[in-house]
Amino acid sequence: MRNILFNIVELKDSFRPSEKKIAQYILDNPEQIVDMTITELASACNTSEASIVRFCKTLNLKGFQDLKVKIAASLAVKHSSLDGGIDREDSIADIVQKIVDFNKEAIEQTSHVTDLEELERAVDVLSNAKRIDFCGMGASGIVAYDAMTKFMRINIPCNYYQDNHLQLTSAANLSEDDVAVGISYSGTTSEVVDVLKAAKERSASTISITKVGKSPLVEVADINLFVSSQEAIFRMGAMASRIAQLNLIDILFVSVAIKKYDEVFEYLENTSGATSIRKI
């Protein structure tokens, strides 16, 4: 089930000013919302009932009652499961279970924010690409490298460079038949944004893989694929967001491979044989 409280957190930065006030009140007082009328909520947020209705539409809800039902469901899930936080007193068993739950939740939430039409567009342009450049920094760079190794298996020329100058150099040589994929959970990594800008200047198609909401990366990309994860509680590094991104790369790779099945089956067989360990 879609966790509406989590979606509100993810979308918060993209809300209009009046919606941000409503969102913050809901996040601060979720239990109270369930028993409030739309008039009471509007008064508490210092806004109008019409703003509450617009807020519900922004969240793709049927109305205020639907919002209350979704909040109640989110609270039930929250109270019946681990909070995802890692405490210094946790045992190894606790840590195992929390990390597993954390990553499972990221994948599940990503399935809820995935726009299937955008995904279909991404699969189409990747299937027809003469070359794909993947770019990302830090943990997102690891995801970009994973994407390159997968798409190489179906004989689509592709690149990933750790050095940002090389990423920019490669992007500057793309054409309208090529694709640049920028990966950044925050959507604000300037190096990745610059690479997609350089690719667009060469008329290449651009795809972003980033978190839900408006960001510089979303604004520059032709196609936006969103991932979702709760990273704030114990963020020693990108954990669940990386898992969500890798999961989306798997979806893209399998979808492209199926779309080009007759053409790429031989390549998959060849690469599998070339990398397998043979007994002498």
Ordered by start, the domain boundaries in the chain are 1-80, 116-275
Q: What is the pLDDT of residue 277?
A: 54
Is 1-80 CATH 3.40.50.1100? no
The residue assigned the tokens 């089956």 is 265
Q: What is the pLDDT of residue 198?
A: 98
Q: What is the dihedral of CA 164, 159, 135, 241, to 10 degrees?
A: -130
Q: What is the pLDDT of residue 276?
A: 59
Token code pair at residue 98: 């929390």
Q: What is the pLDDT of residue 85?
A: 64
Q: Are 73 and 1 in contact (CB under 8 A)?
A: yes
Q: What is the pLDDT of residue 174?
A: 97
Q: What is the dihedral of CA 12, 231, 67, 109, to 10 degrees?
A: 120
Q: What is the pLDDT of residue 199?
A: 98
Which residues make beta-bridge pairs with 205?
Answer: 179
Same fold, 1-80 and 116-275: no
Q: What is the pLDDT of residue 108?
A: 82
Q: What is the pLDDT of residue 229?
A: 60
Q: What is the pLDDT of residue 80?
A: 42
One pLDDT digit (tens) per residue for the chain, 280 residues: 457 887 888 778 788 899 999 999 999 999 999 999 999 999 999 999 999 999 999 888 999 999 999 898 888 765 444 345 677 788 999 888 888 887 887 888 788 778 899 999 999 999 999 999 999 999 999 999 999 999 999 999 999 999 999 999 999 999 999 999 999 998 999 999 999 999 999 999 999 999 887 889 999 999 999 987 655 444 445 677 889 999 999 999 999 999 998 888 887 877 776 665 554 4
The domain made up of 116-275 has a fold known as Rossmann fold (3.40.50)
User: DSSP strand E in 29-172: where?
Assistant: 132-136, 158-160
